[in-house]
Structure 1
Amino acid sequence: MAEKTAVVEIVPYDPQWKTAFEQIKEMIVCYIGDVIIGVEHVGSTSVEGLSAKPIIDLDVVMDSYDKLPIIVQRLEEQGYEHQGSLGIEGREAFRRKFQDEHMKYHLYVCPKDGKGYLEHIAFRDYLRKNETARNEYQKLKIRLAEQHRFDVDRYCDNKTAFITKILKETN
């Protein structure tokens, strides 16, 4: 099972998140670069100026699910556990079995045409371009983190309406 966030903590944007992403990406590409299309920085840490939980989210993009068995095998050889979709269509989660030198991160493998991946990119790109939406989302995240500090599920659930509204605007 994915490691649950014990305490929801939102911190100001840190420019080092870009560097942390690049370091993790480089490591992942060494393991599976020849069987993937790319690695995308998604989630709030990928949006400059947006406060976030200090956890890097990475979407590893594969051409199709045909590539998943080799990806699972190679990542398992490197100390990752395949956790399945965790209830999210078009996304396969992986958890590092041991602490590495990188800051905390979530690793997902997605097909290039998968709903989860396409929504991550659309939401990220919208927030990067729209300062008003970015500020509104930041205020919501801070408020929800205060209200649901010890309940990450409620924190996430209460962001859904905002995210859905933005995704409708991206279509």
Structure 2
Amino acid sequence: MDEWWDVVDAGGGATGTTFRRGDSGWPVGSFHLVVTVCVHRADGTVLVTQRAPTKEFAYGWEFPGGSALAGESGSAAACRELREETSLDVAPDALQWVGRFTEDSALVDLFIVREPAGSTVRPAPAEVMAWKWLPASEVVELRKSGVMADPWGPRLDAMWPAAMATIRSGGAPAVVQLEAHRDSWETDYQREASRLVAALGDRVLAVEHIGGTAIPGLEAKPVIDIAVRVAVDTDPLALGPLLAATGYTQHRSGLRNHGVYTRERDDGARTHILHAFASDQWDECNQRLFRDKLLSDPTAVARYREVKTRAARSSDGRAYTAAKRQVVQQLLDEERAARGLASVTAWDKEALGSHRRPSTEGL
């Protein structure tokens, strides 16, 4: 039977076209949705399965999953794949979305779900040759041993810390916590900017405070977002070695059109996000335009505050971002129009190596 996929854009939005698996001519710059499910128990173990010998990446260990079919939501696809591969039957509303990793032509969503009561794993021989319950803390060691299916190395690097946090919390989804604006955020930014200039030297042409913490009076997540404009001969995606001594590491949750580096506390809580832009991106950088819109237009702040606070009260991180997207796009469109700039999508993930599309990641 033919397997058809929905073709989506970098943000997961429908393009209105489908693609048959196995055909040639995949549309460049497009994606399809892949889902995977981490089933966990109260004792902290998770279900891992070994791919059948007849499948691509034969004998590799992984979490159950596969491609979403045309017309199928991510959660519905996750439930179907889990049922087909292991016979475990869960409802879509039992799933918790953990994160998304962007590959060359796929958006990979990781879900977590508690093992259904009274269930038994009965693997489909055509899909799974072996399975086991593994302490969640040992998943990284499994990845390091080289026995995971090839795609799982980068996926785990990007998404497993968030998965572990959810498992340790007993499966409770993360809720976005906004804090009242603090004057200390600007002081923190100034201190961090000095450190970054010292580390990057003449490779950086400008440093600015962006994101919610840059807007006086606006509630925000207590994470300082910083934008830097790098010199013409500097690659914004290759600053990792220069930033290592400052505690920043490159963020690899997907392909972006600019460099993203994060700094965390010893307990894993993120404190700073650095966005590095090519010199010719700077004037049309959406983060800067959005910040300027909020700094100059009190009604824009009110519109944005209403949406983000409502979303934060009822959402996890993914739903929070999705809920803000419409108002962010509207405000960006207004600011860009005022400057005589064309409207662009409020999304920055694209093929690695292309540094031209403005973005809003980090707002």
Corresponding residue for residue 10 of structure 1: 178
Equivalent pairs, count? 166
1:56 to 220, 224, 246: 224
1:160 to 307, 325, 335: 325
**Residue 35 of structure 1 contacts residue 67 of structure 1 at CA under 8 Å; is this kept in 2?**
no
Whichever structure has more helix as a proportion of its residues is: 1
In 1, distance between residues paired with 2:210 and 2:180?
A: 17
Kindly indicate whether residue 249 of structure 2 is the aligned counterpart of residue 104 of structure 1. no
Kindly indicate whether residue 306 of structure 2 is the aligned counterpart of residue 135 of structure 1. no
2:194 to 21, 26, 36: 26
**Residue 225 of structure 2 contacts residue 274 of structure 2 at CA under 8 Å; is this kept in 1?**
yes
Q: Letter of the 1:56 partner, please give it.
A: I
Whichever structure has more strand as a proportion of its residues is: 2
Kindly indicate whether residue 267 of structure 2 is the aligned counterpart of residue 94 of structure 1. no
Structure 2 gaps, min length 5? 1-157, 166-173, 337-363
Query: Could you say what secondary structure the match of 2:309 adopts?
Result: helix
Q: Letter of the 2:302 partner, please give it.
A: N
Deviation at 1:52, TM superposition (A): 0.7
Structure 1 segment 67-86 matched on structure 2, within 5 A: 67-68=235-236, 71-83=239-251, 86=254
Corresponding residue for residue 39 of structure 1: 207
Query: Could you say what secondary structure the match of 2:228 adopts?
Result: strand
Q: Say what the alpha-carbon RMSD is for the aligned residues.
A: 2.8
**Larger C-alpha radius of gyration, 1 or 2?**
2
Structure 1 gaps, min length 5? none
Deviation at 1:145, TM superposition (A): 0.3
Kindly indicate whether residue 169 of structure 2 is the aligned counterpart of residue 169 of structure 1. no
TM-score (norm 1): 0.83
In 1, distance between residues paired with 2:181 and 2:301?
A: 12
Give identity over the alignment, percent: 27
Q: Letter of the 2:328 partner, please give it.
A: I
